[in-house]
Amino acid sequence: MPGTVAQEERAQGFKDYLAQHAPKVKVVTELNDEGDVAKTETLCTALLQSNPNIKGIFSTHGYGAPGAAAAVRTLKMQNKVVVIGSDYGTAVIELILNGEVQGTVIDDPYLIGYQAMMLAYAAAHPTDVPSTNPPFGHVPPLIYGGCSLLTKDLLQDPAVLSKYQNPPKID
């Protein structure tokens, strides 16, 4: 989705990695599905029909992988096209477990929440330490929230599966 910084950076990181580690792999196109699963399915179906040699689809957001998986399923290309997503929800977890999505890049939700609270505290409690991000007090210029690839192998661990199927409730 053009104009969404996080997704543009994910796409650029994907392309940069390919350029460095798999230079023979080419990005055929980038699709704007406007965050809509049905539109993703339609666009990916057309893309795969017009380019039957495509070997993989990477989605930069949580709704893309289910739409891409549906297109791959409809065209009976499950053993020919790898689908990797970003983010997760119930649909993505189920698609990973049944093998239609091979993995999804996930952020560390605990660390993101923890660091957000630390930044809010720093903003409310300025110090004498020089800040690179005024008026927010002393905070780092870049904050890394951590990420990893969630795969079927990881979800075979009941503790991991439970974490993603049943997130803790906050009262």
Same domain assignment for residues 53 and 66: yes
24's tokens: 């023979």
Question: End-to-end distance of the chain based on CA atoms, in angstroms?
Answer: 34
Q: How many domains does the chain have?
A: 2
Same domain assignment for residues 118 and 155: no
Q: Does residue 53 carry a pLDDT above 80?
A: yes
Task: Please tell me the distance from the alpha carbon of residue 164 to that of residue 47, in angstroms, as a whole number.
Answer: 31
Same domain assignment for residues 39 and 72: yes
Q: Does residue 167 carry a pLDDT above 70?
A: no
CB 27 within 8 A of CB 54: no
Tell me the pLDDT tens digit for each residue of 16-51. 999 999 999 999 999 999 989 999 999 999 999 999
* Pairing, β 56-58 against β 82-86: parallel
For residues 135-169, one letter each, b for 16 or more C-beta atoms within 10 angstroms of the residue's C-beta and e for the rest, the string is eebebeeeeeeeeeebeeeebeeeeeeeebeeeee
Q: How many residues does the chain have?
A: 171
Q: Does residue 170 carry a pLDDT above 70?
A: no
Same domain assignment for residues 137 and 118: yes
In a domain, 151, yes or no: yes
Portion of the chain with pLDDT greater than 70, in percent = 91
Tell me the pLDDT tens digit for each residue of 59-113. 999 899 999 999 999 999 999 999 999 988 889 999 999 999 999 999 887 888 8
Same domain assignment for residues 120 and 138: yes
pLDDT value at residue 169: 54
Same domain assignment for residues 103 and 155: yes
Higher pLDDT, 135 or 53: 53
Same domain assignment for residues 18 and 90: yes
6: phi then psi, degrees, rounded to nearest 5 = -60, -40
Same domain assignment for residues 36 and 104: yes
Same domain assignment for residues 151 and 134: no
In a domain, 169, yes or no: no
pLDDT value at residue 114: 86
In a domain, 60, yes or no: yes
Same domain assignment for residues 102 and 19: yes
Same domain assignment for residues 58 and 28: yes
pLDDT value at residue 160: 81
pLDDT value at residue 159: 82
CB 122 within 8 A of CB 136: yes
In a domain, 86, yes or no: yes
pLDDT value at residue 85: 95
Residue 51 sits in a domain whose CATH number is: 3.40.50.2300
pLDDT value at residue 4: 84
Range of the domain at 83: 5-108+147-164
In a domain, 137, yes or no: yes
Same domain assignment for residues 49 and 101: yes
* Local confidence band at 6 (pLDDT 50, 70, 90 cut-offs): confident
DSSP string of 18-33, one letter each residue: HHHH-TT---------
Higher pLDDT, 82 or 156: 82
